[in-house]
Amino acid sequence: MEYFGDAYWSFFFRWLHIMSGVMWIGLLWYFNFVQTPSMPKIPDAEKPAISKVIAPAALFWFRWAAMATIVTGLIEAWLNGYIGDALTLGLTSMGTPIATRIGFGMWMGIIMWFNVWFLIWPNQKKVLGMVQASPEEKKKGARIAALASRTNTLLSIPMLYAMASASHLG
């Protein structure tokens, strides 16, 4: 048995994909179910600890977990030979329900990744004062980031279902 053959690398990238996905979705749910609802309860004097220390660190891991999840997922799909079938939702040669389900999950993940890198992160930098922004820009940025984050939270549920069903409903 070849220890570092194709089967090993497929497993290894699947493991990395799951690990980074757990971190990404865990942080997404932390922001939406813990941090954001708790902010009004925190005394104003203590809020700078969140915005200057906790949020920037959490956002660093959040965005890079999103990147790692997408990259490892695409590598895994390529190693297993279904990347084209999944990205076309099973409409190409394979045409199986598995390709449709995994493809649906992949596209949801890609949309979520886009939201993280191109909506949430640029606007959070304004809100947290990491880039220069007027009070109006900060307010607008907070709304855009919050809506994109809530959208990702909603998308995460069918995305996770699609990913799990592809390998467990067979």
Regarding predicted confidence, which is higher, 91 or 158?
A: 158
Question: Domain locations in the chain?
Answer: 6-36+55-168
Q: 32-50: per-residue pLDDT in tens? A: 999 999 999 999 999 999 9
Structural contact between residues 13 and 79, judged by C-beta atoms closer than 8 angstroms:
yes
| pLDDT at residue 136 tops 60 | yes
Task: Read off φ and ψ for residue 169, nearest 5 degrees.
Answer: -95, -20
Two structure tokens written together for 10: 């497929």
Please state, in angstroms and rounded to a whole number, the distance separating the CA atoms of residues 34 and 15.
27
Please state, in angstroms and rounded to a whole number, the distance separating the CA atoms of residues 124 and 120.
6
- Which has the closest alpha carbon to 36: 17, 15, 58? 58
What's the whole-model pTM score? 0.91
